[in-house]
Structure 1
Amino acid sequence: MHAITDWLAGLSGPVVYAVVAALVFCEDALFFGFVLPGETAVVLGGVLASQHHASVYWLALAVVLAAIAGDSVGYEVGHHFGPRILATRPLHRHQDRIADAQVLIRRRGPAAVFLGRFIAFFRATMPALAGASHMRYRTFLLFNALGGLAWGVGFTLLGYFAGSAYTRVEHTVGRALALALAAVVIAALTAWHLRRRRAHQEVGDSRQSAAGDRRDTP
């Protein structure tokens, strides 16, 4: 993953739009998000835009269109292949989280498509699950477009303003302090991500333990 992000950081011009859009599309259409979350590519693209390697407006447009198109392909995959897609290798190890996504669809309906756009695992799997549940495509497309617009513009601007803020700090207090502040932010984000993963693991362990207790009960 670090090799991919380092490579992204060296891009400029139309290549930025093409690569970021391709990663966003593949995350939703081909479950590529298990390798590199699309939001990481989008934020990096926003940072590059803040450094004048690309236009933030064209980047946001490319991200939104790629998100909507990728989700639509994911929907068709789920609609035509149904439960078979859930047995594929990338998804086989995440049955508990898939069950959570299916519960979210049953409870929230099409709103789950919008909400899932902002959660990494759900973003990669929700379109296929919506298709497998035979949600009407028109309904799916509406909430998919709303989620893609909010997510695409939001994370592009997040990267853009983060990159601009770093540049201002560097000019004001010097490169060393700017790097130190960036390191603190990265460490905090990493700690938050690890805590979230640990929480998911604990939930999964508790479910397995509860299931085992039910099997052992005469």
Structure 2
Amino acid sequence: MTEFLKHIGEHVGVWLYVIAAGLAFAEAAILVGLVLPGETALLVAGYFCHEKVLNVWVMVPLAIVAAIAGDSVGFEFGRKFGPRIRRSRLGRFVGEPRWQNTDQFIHRHGGKAVLFGRLTAVLRALTPSMAGMSGMHYPTFLAWNATGGILWGGGCVLLGYAFASALHRVEQYLTWAPLAVLALVILAAIALHIRRRRRERVAD
């Protein structure tokens, strides 16, 4: 299994950097995260870092920068187009009370709401735009966004790296486990045969 995955990675090559970072960027920038969470791409990238297809010292900073930049674009999108979206048919469908509740939540929790959103799957795609719509100051947003980007971007890649190591151990166990089970079955069969022969001798 791992050899097959490594073979795929070697054929894709350096484009894996572009794909993983691009999805991490697009998650909040263009709401791709509503369909495909960016951490999936970064976990896969971490796996390929372990397999030496990618360089972990390149992938980690790239993931962090892509995450921070993507959220910044999402923030700017919300700041610029938020009022227009609220006045649109979609905005009226959502309802002004819900928009106001979102504003109040972000104003009440400030940057902590940005950090919480970064670490939550669906909110990760929406929080930057919501922060921009609510009028949060960008320096405040950027500070908490950078913190979340470092924790999330670097953490996902390193988690994928650690998963690859664990996967190799599982694969080794799965390689030898059938042989161990077969040996136990053979030993059990021999023991039962010897026991049956002894009973037959006693009966005679």
TM-score computed with the length of structure 2 as normaliser: 0.72
Aligned length: 168
State the Cα distance separating 1:176 from its structure 2 match.
Answer: 8.0
| Structure 2 CA distance for partners of 1:16 and 1:130, relative to 1, 3 Å | same
C-alpha distance in 1, partners of 2:73/2:22? 13
Structure 1: 5+ residue stretches without partners: 1-6, 178-218
| Structure 2 CA distance for partners of 1:43 and 1:102, relative to 1, 3 Å | farther
> What SS is found at the alignment partner of 1:142?
helix
RMSD: 3.0
Greater C-alpha radius of gyration:
2
State the Cα distance separating 1:85 from its structure 2 match.
Answer: 4.0
| Structure 2 CA distance for partners of 1:138 and 1:35, relative to 1, 3 Å | same
8 A contact 1:33–1:124 mirrored in 2? yes
Give per-residue Cα distances to partners, 1:190-212, cap 9 Å, x unaligned. xxxxxxxxxxxxxxxxxxxxxxx
State the Cα distance separating 1:175 from its structure 2 match.
Answer: 8.0
- 1:130 is aligned to 131
> Structure 1 counterpart of 2:147, which letter?
L
State the Cα distance separating 1:102 from its structure 2 match.
Answer: 4.5
State the Cα distance separating 1:173 from its structure 2 match.
Answer: 3.9
Give per-residue Cα distances to partners, 1:18-61, cap 9 Å, x unaligned. 11000111111000112211011111111111122111221111
C-alpha distance in 2, partners of 1:174/1:121? 38
TM-score computed with the length of structure 1 as normaliser: 0.68
- 2:43 is aligned to 43
| Structure 2 CA distance for partners of 1:165 and 1:36, relative to 1, 3 Å | same
> What SS is found at the alignment partner of 1:54?
coil
**1:11 maps onto 2:14 in alignment:** no
The equivalences for 1:60-71 within 5 A come to 60-71=60-71
> What SS is found at the alignment partner of 1:154?
helix
8 A contact 1:116–1:126 mirrored in 2? yes
State the Cα distance separating 1:104 from its structure 2 match.
Answer: 3.7
> Structure 1 counterpart of 2:122, which letter?
F
